[in-house]
Structure 1
Amino acid sequence: MTYRRAAIPALIGGLLLAALLWWAGSSADALRLPGSVGTLGPDAVAELQRWVAPWAYDPPSFLDAGVQGHGYVLLGDDGRDRYNGIYTAGLQIRYGAVFAAFVLGALLLIRRLPPVRGRTTAAFLALWAWGAAAGTLAAAVSAPWFIAAAGHGSHRFLPQLASVTAAGRQLPVAVSLVAAGATVLVARIAAEGASTPPRTEVPARAARLAATAGTAVIALSVVVLSYQPVAAALQAYSPDGGLLAEPGDLLRQWLLLGAWDAPAAGAVVDWLLHRASDVLLLAVVWWALSRLPGLLTRVTLPAMAAGAVGATVLGLLASQLLRIAVVQTGPQQGLLYSSAAIGNGIPAALTCGLLAGVVATAVLRLSLRGAPEPAA
């Protein structure tokens, strides 16, 4: 599919994603109505407020009350307006960033993985995963403005950056389903009348070898870096003073896809259930990476990297759903409470997925060296 044909569905998907996030954020006021607690229950309302607050235009409570950040410094009207302006600018940057990130990723995915017969499901899943990743990228890009709006941006900047980036991760995961579906539908309409995009002919052995190499990068995060003593060493690392002090939270957020330790006495079954979710993550990544080269119209580094990010995000979400269904579900836990961890690890999925895509592409090209050039 040409870029001209791919641009329209990518733009529509990006606009829909931003509009749905704005609509959800604008609904924050409705959750404060007395009837909301009576209808949904206090726990569900509190959890929904946590989902939508990072995307709401309502200023934080400490600014609304004329108090600056955690220092409780009283502000006059001019000071309050100034910090409210910074917060609003940060939110505008967040919406602009989520739109731009989704459009750029969707443009590449639709071009190389067009949603035509035999590829529609793969394209939908890749776009859904990329929408969730776009939300995380937008949160990271806009985080400095939110930190500045709190009035204490120079204090523990990196831990604050990690905290702001992690907020609001569930909402993009949910609304990206709708945006991905609309993007695929429009892309299928745009593809009508065009010739059927060819598939890249990749030997099965080369595809499996590349998938294994890419999955090994993900396993490095899941098995090695996520081991508690190693994660603790990352957490404890800190340069001396300045804005780069205490990077532990940020390093864990962008490098670790899980957390595990040796099983405690009498808890082997629970430990194995948690490890089953890690196995599922690696299995989904390997299966997706082994299929990806044959689905692409042309194997390129950007397409493989974007596809690997999508595979890692999908594997991460699948593992979290398994953990909710098997490990965390209980009679006292509602669906919203159980899904509070959905979206954890997406920053690390971006980092590790990009590296996995690069490694898989390099191994695939080495495997095909000397072989006939596959059909483009």
Structure 2
Amino acid sequence: MTYRRALIPAAVGGALLALLTLWAGASASALRLQGTGNVFDIESATALRTLLSPWSYSGVSGGALYADLYRTAMQIRFVTLFLFFVAGALLLLRRLPPVQGSTPATLLALWAWAPVAATLAVTVSAPWLIASRGHGSFRVLPQVASVIASGGPVAVVAGLLTAPVMVVLARVMNVDPEPLPRRDVPPLAARLAASAGTAVVALSLVVLSYQSVAAWIQTSFPGEGLLSEPGDLLREWLLLGAWSGPSTAPLGDWLLYRVADVVMLAVVWWALRLLPGLLTEATAPAMAAGAVCATVLGLLASQLLHWATDDTTTVRGPVSLVAGLGGGVPAALTFGAVAGIAAVVTLRLAGRRDTADAAG
């Protein structure tokens, strides 16, 4: 699928994603109206306002200067959300077109890219948002970390609604919807590439996310001035989870949480195993974007499993499901991109070795 044909579904998807998040943000004010208690309990209404407020234009109080800064931050947020999503969607639709046999993969990749674009958008707009609060020079990096962590849940839901529309449009725009010939990827090379990429993700999920290592990351880089206390920001971009030994929780619960981690790594490995054969060309950017999407999908799978096995779900209600989605996306972006590069390098090295062995 050419970039020109992919541009229309990508642009429509970006506009729809921006409109859905804008609508969600506008709904935050409605939760303060009289009668909300007839639909939501107080805890659920508060949780929903917290989820929706990162995309709301009515989230600032103070003078005109602060209000202008806040509106500027939100304008930057929505514009960059559109741009980042369109850029990623163009690459995904170009290299992973929704033809017969790869449509589910395209759908999942586009869905996973939505929270990634949202993370980048809230990151870019964070300085203006922090300045609008009137204390921008106080603990800047912890504030940035808090802002970055806030935009995921709404984007996950909005992306779930956006991705099918884009796939339908892309199939209409594609002049050749027949299945593409599968790339001849040696099975051993594909498995090695998937293992290399999964090892990179496991570095964050297993090693860096261990309690003592995470605490070291939190406290070992004090920084100075505006760059003081970078621990929270480093954790956002480096840690895909959090875990400790079984002594801190009942063994059954501890094992259940570790099963969720295994599920995440299994999703990443399987996606990276299939990705080179699904792509029209396994370029480094395409593999990096695909690996980021695979890591986000693994995160979502583990978070859904956590929610399904949580004893408090029946008490907290369905809002807890949305609140639990979208965490860890910054780290998924960091390590997913590195995993994709590691996978494509391994794939090419293994392919050259197979070619040399065949020639010999």
- Normalising by structure 1, what TM-score? 0.91
Q: Show the counterpart of 1:250.
A: 233
Q: Show the counterpart of 1:185.
A: 168
CA distance in 2, matches of 1:182, 1:266: 43
Q: Does 1:10 align with 2:17?
A: no
Q: Show the counterpart of 2:44.
A: 44
Query: How far did 1:265 drift?
Result: 6.7
Q: Show the counterpart of 1:34.
A: 34
CA distance in 2, matches of 1:199, 1:137: 33
Where 1:141 maps in the other structure, the secondary structure is helix
Q: Show the counterpart of 1:155.
A: 138
Q: Show the counterpart of 2:263.
A: 280
Among candidates 260, 265, 272, match of residue 243 of structure 2: 260
Judged with a 3 Å threshold, the aligned counterparts in structure 2 of structure 1 residues 196 and 117 are, in CA distance, closer, same or farther, namely: closer
Letter in 1 for 2:79: G
CA distance in 1, matches of 2:309, 2:218: 29
Q: Show the counterpart of 2:152.
A: 169
How much identity, in percent, do the aligned residues show? Answer: 55
**Is the contact between residue 237 and residue 330 of structure 2 (CA under 8 Å) also seen in structure 1?**
yes
Among candidates 273, 288, 301, match of residue 290 of structure 1: 273
Query: How far did 1:178 drift?
Result: 1.2
Judged with a 3 Å threshold, the aligned counterparts in structure 2 of structure 1 residues 266 and 13 are, in CA distance, closer, same or farther, namely: closer
Among candidates 91, 96, 101, match of residue 79 of structure 2: 96
Runs of 4+ displaced beyond 6 Å: none
Aligned residues: 356
Judged with a 3 Å threshold, the aligned counterparts in structure 2 of structure 1 residues 135 and 220 are, in CA distance, closer, same or farther, namely: same
Listed as ranges, the gaps of 5+ residues in structure 1 are 67-79
**Is the contact between residue 76 and residue 125 of structure 2 (CA under 8 Å) also seen in structure 1?**
yes
Letter in 2 for 1:32: R
Letter in 2 for 1:281: M
**Is the contact between residue 44 and residue 316 of structure 2 (CA under 8 Å) also seen in structure 1?**
no
Q: Show the counterpart of 2:207.
A: 224
Among candidates 113, 120, 126, match of residue 96 of structure 2: 113
Q: Show the counterpart of 1:23.
A: 23
**Is the contact between residue 66 and residue 132 of structure 2 (CA under 8 Å) also seen in structure 1?**
yes
Query: How far did 1:343 drift?
Result: 1.0
Query: How far did 1:331 drift?
Result: 3.7
CA distance in 2, matches of 1:151, 1:266: 41
**Is the contact between residue 127 and residue 180 of structure 1 (CA under 8 Å) also seen in structure 2?**
yes
CA distance in 1, matches of 2:120, 2:173: 28
Judged with a 3 Å threshold, the aligned counterparts in structure 2 of structure 1 residues 267 and 230 are, in CA distance, closer, same or farther, namely: same
Q: Identify the range of structure 1 (129-138 vs 321-330) with the bigger mean alpha-carbon deviation.
A: 321-330
Letter in 2 for 1:272: L
Letter in 2 for 1:231: A
**Is the contact between residue 295 and residue 336 of structure 2 (CA under 8 Å) also seen in structure 1?**
yes
CA distance in 1, matches of 2:355, 2:223: 54
CA distance in 2, matches of 1:277, 1:345: 14
Where 2:225 maps in the other structure, the secondary structure is coil
**Is the contact between residue 239 and residue 246 of structure 1 (CA under 8 Å) also seen in structure 2?**
yes
Q: Show the counterpart of 1:336.
A: 319
Q: Show the counterpart of 1:53.
A: 53
For each residue in 1:116-135, what CA deviation from the matched residue of structure 2 results, as whole angstroms up to 9, or x when unmatched? Answer: 10010000000000011111
**Is the contact between residue 100 and residue 177 of structure 2 (CA under 8 Å) also seen in structure 1?**
no
Q: Identify the range of structure 1 (43-52 vs 260-269) with the bigger mean alpha-carbon deviation.
A: 260-269
Taking the TM superposition and a 5 Å limit, the aligned residue runs for 1:297-376 are 297-369=280-352, 371=354
CA distance in 1, matches of 2:159, 2:82: 12
For each residue in 1:256-305, what CA deviation from the matched residue of structure 2 results, as whole angstroms up to 9, or x when unmatched? Answer: 01111111277111110010110000000000000000000011000000
Listed as ranges, the gaps of 5+ residues in structure 2 are none
For each residue in 1:321-370, what CA deviation from the matched residue of structure 2 results, as whole angstroms up to 9, or x when unmatched? Answer: 00110134444221213442211101100001000001001000101115
CA RMSD of aligned residues (A): 1.6
Where 1:327 maps in the other structure, the secondary structure is coil
**Is the contact between residue 199 and residue 295 of structure 1 (CA under 8 Å) also seen in structure 2?**
yes
Letter in 2 for 1:90: A
**Is the contact between residue 200 and residue 299 of structure 1 (CA under 8 Å) also seen in structure 2?**
no
Letter in 1 for 2:141: L
